[in-house]
């Protein structure tokens, strides 16, 4: 029970953990269901990401205004905390890349394979977590990360074998492993790690005394700007109004709404728990996703998938026995917050 309390300090934390897993499973299923028979999409995926971020912004601003009480109005709050607003451009840009790459990678991989391959982010997340929060992971925690990584590697080889239509030792398999899609999903992993960990850092340090909904406003306001730039860069900004017609599809609406809810739940996750546990929550999605995709889409569960899921489950169980503390350690609290801002932040501190 002590380990359980370390993981979930209260019932609300467990509810957030559960919602995070379920919503992400839904997201993978909705995106897969929205694909055409040729594996692409008949709608502008960047516009869908933009609409999701806009909905998150509206929801966060509404929630902040609703529970504002004696706090300044949203415009005054933005002016007062303008430096924090600029700091949020870092995770916002990374999430912009992550969300757009999700559509590209889900078009190439089935949801189970996609979520397994995303687990490569765990080691990088652990390293970033140690740097930003000055917390050293223990031996068993590193072992659990290693087991998780091996499980992902096995699934990576299996996915390549399926795509090449040959055995796992075939040359074409390794060509598939080191293909542009592998680079794409690993870059998505990098964006996820750095954005998630740095977002947690802002929530718990630079913005620890700022209302969480106001922090979400900063995040999603920056995200809207980043996605507008992305649309402009792709040369699709002029076609936005015409592309709006394609957003009436039921699955597209579900993707936008579910993504908005996921974003807000994630902010509560990082505020009340931590990015290491968030990574393991993502790993637990694998089991549910594999079963759901088999039932809905007939996607086979291979022996390599079973092995990968077993290894991931073992790693999760090992971590649950040796979790990272959910709160900032006394060693961190003893330092001035300014000193903890790493070189990745280029904005000058107060």
Contact 188, 98 (CB under 8 A): yes
**Rounded distance, CA 195 to CA 219, Å?**
11
Report how far apart, in Å, the C-alpha atoms of 122 and of each of 27, 49, 56, 62, 212 are.
20, 25, 26, 34, 25
pTM of the model: 0.69
**Rounded distance, CA 33 to CA 114, Å?**
15
pLDDT digit string (tens) for 68-107? Answer: 677 788 888 888 888 888 888 988 898 889 888 888 888 8
What is the dihedral angle through the alpha carbons of 180, 183, 185, 190, rounded to the nearest 10 degrees? Answer: -160
Contact 129, 276 (CB under 8 A): yes
Q: Which residue, among 275, 246, 226, has the nearest Cα to 53 in the 3D structure?
A: 226
Q: List all residues 6 or more positions away from 216 whose beta carbon is below 8 Å from its beta carbon.
A: 56, 60, 63, 64, 263, 264, 267
Q: Which residue, among 350, 318, 342, has the nearest Cα to 145 in the 3D structure?
A: 318
Phi, psi of 273 (to 5 degrees): -120, -130
Q: What is the DSSP letter of 68?
A: -
pLDDT-flagged residues of the chain (< 70):
1-9, 68, 116, 119-120, 122-125, 129, 132-135, 155-179, 240-241, 270, 274-280, 282-283, 320-350
What is the residue extent of each domain of the chain? 2-340
Contact 127, 45 (CB under 8 A): no
**Rounded distance, CA 45 to CA 31, Å?**
10
Structure tokens belonging to residue 160: 């390549």
The pLDDT, as a whole number, for residue 167 is 47
């Amino acid at each position: 029970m002590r380990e359980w309390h370390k993981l979930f300090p209260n019932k609300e934390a467990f509810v957030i953990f559960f919602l995070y897993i379920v919503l992400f499973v839904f997201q993978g299923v909705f995106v897969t269901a929205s694909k055409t028979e040729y594996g692409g999409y008949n709608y502008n995926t960047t516009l869908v990401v933009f609409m999701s971020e806009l909905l998150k912004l509206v929801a966060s601003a509404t929630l902040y205004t609703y529970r504002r009480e004696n706090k300044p109005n949203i415009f005054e709050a933005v002016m007062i905390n303008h430096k924090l607003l600029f700091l949020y451009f870092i995770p916002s840009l990374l999430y912009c890349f992550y969300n757009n790459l999700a559509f590209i990678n889900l078009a190439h991989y089935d949801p189970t394979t996609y979520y397994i391959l995303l687990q490569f982010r765990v080691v990088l997340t652990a390293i970033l977590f140690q740097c930003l929060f000055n917390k050293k992971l223990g031996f068993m925690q590193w072992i659990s990360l290693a087991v998780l990584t091996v499980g992902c590697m096995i699934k990576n080889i299996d996915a390549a074998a399926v795509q090449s239509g040959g055995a796992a030792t075939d040359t074409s398999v390794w060509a598939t492993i080191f293909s542009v899609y592998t680079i794409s999903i690993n870059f998505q992993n990098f964006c996820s790690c750095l954005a998630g960990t740095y977002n947690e850092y802002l929530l718990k340090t630079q913005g620890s005394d700022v209302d969480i909904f106001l922090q979400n406003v900063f995040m999603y306001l920056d995200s809207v700007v980043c996605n507008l730039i992305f649309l402009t860069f792709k040369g699709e900004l002029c076609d936005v109004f015409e592309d709006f017609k394609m957003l009436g599809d039921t699955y597209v609406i579900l993707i936008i709404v579910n993504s908005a809810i996921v974003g807000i739940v994630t902010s509560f996750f990082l505020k009340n728990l931590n990015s290491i546990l968030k990574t393991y929550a993502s790993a637990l999605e694998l089991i549910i996703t594999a079963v759901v995709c088999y039932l809905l889409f007939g996607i086979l569960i291979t022996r390599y998938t079973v092995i990968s899921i077993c290894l991931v489950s073992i790693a999760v169980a090992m971590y649950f026995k040796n979790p990272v503390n959910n709160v900032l350690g006394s060693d961190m609290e003893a330092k001035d917050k300014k000193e903890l801002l790493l070189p990745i932040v280029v904005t000058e501190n107060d």
